[in-house]
Structures are given as C-alpha cells and as structure tokens.
Amino acid sequence: MKLPYIEPYKIKMVESIDQSTPEMRKKWIEEASFNLFKLKSNQVMIDLITDSGTGAMSDKQWAEIMLGDESYAGSSSFFKLEKTVKTLTGFKHFIPTHQGRAAENVLFSALVSKEDLIPGNSHFDTTKGHIEYRNATAVDCTVNEAFDLEDNYPFKGNINLQKLEKTLQKYPGKIPFVLLTVTCNSNGGQPVSIENMRDIRMLCDQYGVGFFIDGARFAENAYFIKIREKEFANHSIKQIVKEMFSLADGMTMSAKKDGIVNMGGFIAMNDSELYKNCSTFTIMYEGFVTYGGMSGRDMGALAQGLIEGTTFEYLESRIQQINYLGDRLVEFKVPVLKPFGGHAIYIDAVKFVPDIPKEEYRAQSLAIELYIVAGIRGVEIGTLLADRDPKTRENRFPKLEMVRLAIPRRTYTLSQMEYVAVALKNIYDTRKEAKRGYEIDWEAPIMRHFTVKLKKK
C-alpha cells in the first residue's frame, strides 16, 4: 500500500482558536454590517479570507527576524534579499515595497497614463483598482476555458492569444504593457503555461509593448508547470521560475503569498531607466530604495521564505492540502471550480444558491452563511468584488460568482480542512432554504468590497 503524504514540517508553536456559537456569530456579523472584512479575528474560528500574510514562518525565518539590520540606507538585510530575488528571477534591478499593491502603485505611476489599456488575465481587484484610478482600462483576455468551472483544462490562467492580438492591433500606442498574473487569483488560482508565456512574449515584441508578471504566487505556478507541462517534468522549481521570468521585462510581487511572510513585496525589472523612475516613486510613496516600506528583519525573513517556497517538497505539501479539501467537497457533491488551484478552493455560488438573485450578491450571501454556521471566514469573488463600471456606475456582473476559501501556508491541519468540508456539506444539504440575499447600504467609490455595508433584503 502506498503511504499517504505527510507535511514536511513539524509544529513548534501553536496559537489558540477562540470558540463561538452560531448565535454569537449571527450577532457579530450583523454588527459588522454583513461585511466579513469587518469581523474581529477572535470572532473567527477558521480564517480563510486570504492566504496573504497569514502563513506560518519557519524557524530559519524567525532566526532572520533576529538578524535584521534596521539601517535606513544600505541595510545588509536589503542586500541579502536583493541577491535572493536576482538569483531566483534573473532580473537586473530590484526595489522592495511594503506589499503587492504598493508595488503596483509604484510601477503604474511610472508606466500607466490616462486612457491607456492594460490587457491581462482576469486582473486582481487591487490591480484593476490601480488601473481604473488612473482613468485607464483593464482588458480581460483570459482563455474561454477559464469560465467553465467543470472544464479540467490544465492552464486556465492562460491568456487567449487571439483576444490579446486583437486588442494590441486595435489600440496601437495606448498599451504600455501586458500584465500576466501567476497564478491567476481572480479565476480560481489557475496557472499559466510556459508555452503561453512564450507566445505572449512574441506578441509583445511584435507590437512593441512591455510584458510584466504579477508574481504573487509564482512558485505555485511553477509547481503546476512541472507536473502538467511535459517539457519541464524533470526541471527543478527554481529552474522553472528562472525560465518564467526570463520571458518578461519585469514583475511585481505581493511577497505575503509565496514569500511566506506577514508583510512585504517588491518590483524587479531589467530596464535601467524604468528602475530610475520607479526609484523616484518608491521614495515618494514607500521609503528609501533599500527598504521600501519594509523593516530589515522582514526583508531577511522574506529572503529565506523565497528560498523555502521554491522547493518541490514544500509545494507538494501545500498543493496536497488544497487537493484534500477539494476532493472532500467533490465527494459531498458541493460545486467547486476544477481543476483545483494552488492556494484556494473556489465554491460555485451560482450552482450552490441559484435561487438568490445575482443582484442580491449570492456569493456574499453564501460566505455569510458559512461564517454563521461554522465560524469559517471566506471571501466573495463575485459581483461585490467586480465593483461598478467606472463610467455608468452600474454593477458589473462577472461570469463567475464564487466564494474563495484561501488556505494559509503551513497553518491549518487536515482535520481542520475536514471541518470546513463537512460544514459546507451541511449548508449544501439545506441550500433550497436560501431565497434572498443582501443589498448595499453604503459603499466606497472604488474597491468597495473591503468596506461595504450591507443589509438583508
């Protein structure tokens, strides 16, 4: 008999979880205006709202915390991180930032102008926010397979090359770069193939535009390339990572994901003039270029996290835990996006609660019910997140309405994943009772889902 997989680590320290009842949670979510972001952490039992900055650091990363050099300029921790990033990615220039949206802010300040278009694969919410804030437009060129939740196409994060080329042809001079998110969070944490990246590079060269990668989950993407793209079956994760980034002009990264740290991000690129421009914006928005909003100890922990996060053994364990939860939900007939992504399981809210109108935020309704029933906090990836059209101010209704259960790295056990699966089964078994959802009581003009206030219909 084949032995089951085991986590390639052992637990050295634990954090207690506050217990609560459905009655308590119902009161708390009402007080939070039915916005899961507004809950206090001690009101949540299993927190799957994000995998960003919520993972558990290793003993070697904690050792780096003690070794941090907090010098304002020229910190040795900066040079340690710079060397690690350059070795992994091959890019010539590196600038730290305090997190991914800060990296976007700096890069887009240097490159994005009014009425520009930024093609890509299902831009993440903060990415789209930074683009639209500059009166530019995000153009979704994701492959059609991405919008069929039952399709097991192995690289649903890929860009549709025909869509991309039509956009490049139609708007000459208005597209500064193509932005590729790996893995693609907004459509299920789905990977992008090297073959697709090579084709994107060729199109960008042909039409004279840049090619940048949002690499928040680049290591998970490299893992999927290794197991799904035959050419790279015998390559190491680090070799695949180097190949991925060799095809791009630069990257942004929220290091709170595959860097396995609580805070941090960076920009890397090859162009020296762009580096100079970004350095100016970094000093304006983030801090001096050798810390960019990060403490020295966090830079040291990130350098170590990037090394650990690009090992096959770690990634195998990470993906196996995601697969365990996904497989259990499939066994329970709960509708989920397939194939499972690298950092989360996505619940299909359209099939789960079809009687709740899309105008009443069915995915948010399901996420709220999961919290009340079991104390599990997920996040809506649907109409609330899609926000309003910046010109018409009408709701944008995305093709997919999902609840994302993002699994923090090295944080929860398989028994806790089992708890999540059974909770969803119990809700699914009573799904026909769900008829009404919620309406907006107040919302911000952009990226509303973080602070929105809702009320029951």
Distance of alpha carbon 387 from alpha carbon 405, whole angstroms: 20
Q: Which residues pair with 95 in a beta bridge?
A: 267
Distance of alpha carbon 287 from alpha carbon 285, whole angstroms: 6
Q: Which amino acid type is present at position 259?
A: G
Distance of alpha carbon 142 from alpha carbon 403, whole angstroms: 20
Whether the Cβ atoms of residue 177 and residue 112 lie closer than 8 Å to each other: no
Closest CA to 452 of 405, 360, 384, 406: 384
Tally of CB atoms within 10 A around 338: 18
By annotation, the residues acting in catalysis are 72, 124-125, 214, 216, 257, 449
Tally of CB atoms within 10 A around 271: 15
According to DSSP, residue 329 is labeled: H
Specify the residue for token string 């693609």: 184
Q: Which amino acid type is present at position 187?
A: N
Coil vs helix vs strand at 175:
coil
Angle at 134 between CA 141 and CA 280, to 5 degrees: 110
Coil vs helix vs strand at 180:
strand
Whether the Cβ atoms of residue 263 and residue 294 lie closer than 8 Å to each other: yes
Q: Count Cβ neighbours within 10 Å for each residue of 232-269 and write b for 16 or more, e otherwise.
A: beebebbebbbbbbebbbbbbbbbbbbbbbbbbbbbbb
* 307, two tokens: 């090394």
Distance of alpha carbon 15 from alpha carbon 175, whole angstroms: 48
Whether the Cβ atoms of residue 77 and residue 96 lie closer than 8 Å to each other: no
Closest CA to 112 of 180, 166, 163, 179: 179
Torsion of CA 52, 58, 63, 65, to 10 degrees: 10
